[in-house]
Amino acid sequence: MQGTEKSGGEQPDLEVPGDGRDAPAETAALLLGEREIALDLTGEPKVIAAGALCWRVRAEQLEVLLIHRPRYGDWSWPKGKLDSGETIPECAVREVMEEVGLEIRLGIALPETRYPVASGLKSVHYWAAHVSTAKPRPDGKEVDGVRWCSPEEAASLLTNPTDRLPLEALAVAHEAGDLDTWPLIIVRHAKAKPRSSWARAEGDRPLAATGQRQAKAVARLLQAWHPDRVVSSPWLRCVQTMGPYVNARKPKFKTVDALTEHNAKRKPGKARLAVDNLFEKARPVALCTHRPVLPLVFEVLSQQMTNSMSSLLPEKDPYLAPGEMIICQVSRRNPRRIVSLERYRPFDD
């Protein structure tokens, strides 16, 4: 399964894990108000699923979307099992579209739930997803009804008690002003042709065949957050990494010279400023750069998050694998405050 790591803080009845960078199991953390909730996701579930808690605000009141499943006669959240070769975030977005017809952008990561099923332990990963004007359309087969309701009403209607855990986290984030967020995504360029076999200008060194496949996987995973801006080093391997996504979604695309290996080494302050500028417009954005530039990027990000969350940022070279990415959720109400941190490698090694 593709590598994942999520980030956040401390809550009763949950064991605080290590940072997860060297562990095969997923880890997650989430900043809820001034508390960080750390989640123990160790173990090997037999069934992995993903979904989202769709939310909106009406008359200044938070509402969440419940679904009714005729097969089970229950009230739950839109969710479903992973398809072969699919990442967990991709699954969450697909399942919401299939079950209720909503195209969502993933928001903050919410606590994972676990419970026993006939085949063993089932793990369900959740995200918050803001719905503004679109109306849900139940597919009529897996879902025969939907209901917008307050978190209190949802808690009373949910059939599976474990479904209340992500609901509680969502409600706490809303009270803290950290539910409404925008994604800031950092991507290391995909695998390039070796330096040793390239005799021309370093900036023209392209992706290897493996890197081209990785770039397509990067594009698929980015769809879960669909940033409408892409900022990249102008060197070819970065531009090619973002190419499949740019061609598919047509975001605003900009290259920044300060993000090349050469310029970041000569003038690190300009590279930091280029990252810092990403916060100014408060709009979903993805940045693609090089391995040697990543410590400068993480230095800027760490200043916008708690110390315990920043400890989950990669500290050792190579920081990220080729094509791997970090997803930060930045609060709109509390500008520059990073409240959720995730890490994904969108392909198998």
For 126-181, the pLDDT digits (tens) are: 999 999 988 999 999 999 999 999 999 999 999 999 999 999 999 999 999 999 99
> What's the whole-number average pLDDT of the chain?
89
Check pLDDT > 90 for residue 30: no
Give the architecture-level CATH label for domain 181-344: 3-Layer(aba) Sandwich (3.40)
Taking the C-alpha atoms of residue 308 and residue 303, their distance in angstroms, rounded to an integer, is 12
Question: Which of the four pLDDT bands, split at 50, 70 and 90, describes residue 119?
Answer: confident
pTM above 0.85, yes or no: yes
Check pLDDT > 50 for residue 302: yes
Q: Where are the domains of the chain?
A: 45-175, 181-344
Question: Which of the four pLDDT bands, split at 50, 70 and 90, describes residue 115?
Answer: confident
Q: Are 64 and 38 in contact (CB under 8 A)?
A: no
Question: Which of the four pLDDT bands, split at 50, 70 and 90, describes residue 50?
Answer: very high
209: Cβ contacts below 8 Å, ≥ 6 apart: none
94-98, 137-141, 149-153, 292-296: least confident range: 137-141
For 193-237, the pLDDT digits (tens) are: 999 989 899 999 999 999 999 999 999 999 999 999 999 999 999
Give the architecture-level CATH label for domain 45-175: Alpha-Beta Complex (3.90)
